[in-house]
Amino acid sequence: MRELALNILDITENSLAAGAKHVSIALTADFTADRMRIEICDDGCGMDEETLAKVTDPFTTSRTTRSVGMGIPLFKYSAESTGGNFGIFSEKGKGTRIFAEYVIGHIDRMPLGDFGGVVLQLATMNPSVDFTVTVEADGRKGVLDTSEIKEILGGIPLDMPEVRAFLKDYIQENLVSIYGGRL
């Protein structure tokens, strides 16, 4: 992965595969401390302790098309290679929470990339899942809550071109503008 936004997409795809109905994605940056954090939380099927203990090892997967799961190990590596931290918590039947913390200025930190585009893709391509996406930096906070959007739209799908165009700008102005081009 060349962009952290792609890791976020990939980890969220795991949540969707786990049958999550609600996924929250939080991006927080503290430029003074030179730290950023990505956290993804879902209410999907969760993992038992045995699976959980193995998922950060790239030979675990529940997929049937090949035997190696790469998503979680890649996400973990993206953080740890910058001197940051990684954590995963999961409970069978309840859900999963994964976070990664980065040293922003570290030479091995991948750029965030097209985070707004990833959020737009997740929100519009998964009509039966609700997403709460928050971005926080410099004491400013922006939120996209798709359940609120759906309530206003009252049955008009999020992937209608007009709605997608609105969401694209909404995400840009309310989420991406918080960190600007700094990540």
Ligand X SMILES: Nc1ncnc2c1ncn2[C@@H]1O[C@H](COP(=O)(O)OP(=O)(O)OP(=O)(O)O)[C@@H](O)[C@H]1O
Which residues sit at the interface with Mg ion, rule CB under 5 A?
A: 14, 71
Interface characters, 4-23, with another protein (x: CB under 8 A) = --x--xx--x---x------
Residue 148 within binding range of another protein, rule CB under 8 A: yes
CA–CA separation, 168 and 162 (whole Å): 10
Nearer to Mg ion, 71 or 142 (CB): 71
Nearer to another protein, 1 or 104 (CB): 1
Q: Calculate the alpha carbon distances from 88 to 11, 52, 58, 73, 158 in Å.
A: 11, 8, 15, 11, 31
Residue 7 within binding range of ligand X, rule CB under 6 A: no
Which DSSP state fits 157? -
Classify 74 as helix, strand or coil.
helix
- Cβ pair 175, 135 in contact under 8 A: yes
Site for another protein in 69-128 (CB under 8 A): 69-71, 74, 114, 117-118, 121, 125
Selection from 178, 148, 150 nearest residue 163 by Cα:
150
Q: Quick one: what does residue 142 bind among Mg ion, ligand X, another protein, none, with the CB cut-off 5 to 8 Å set by partner type?
A: none
Nearer to ligand X, 99 or 170 (CB): 99
CA–CA separation, 29 and 5 (whole Å): 14
Residue 61 within binding range of ligand X, rule CB under 6 A: yes
CB of 53 to another protein, least distance (A): 20
Q: Which residues bind ligand X (CB under 6 A)?
A: 14-15, 18, 42, 44-47, 55, 60-63, 69-72, 96
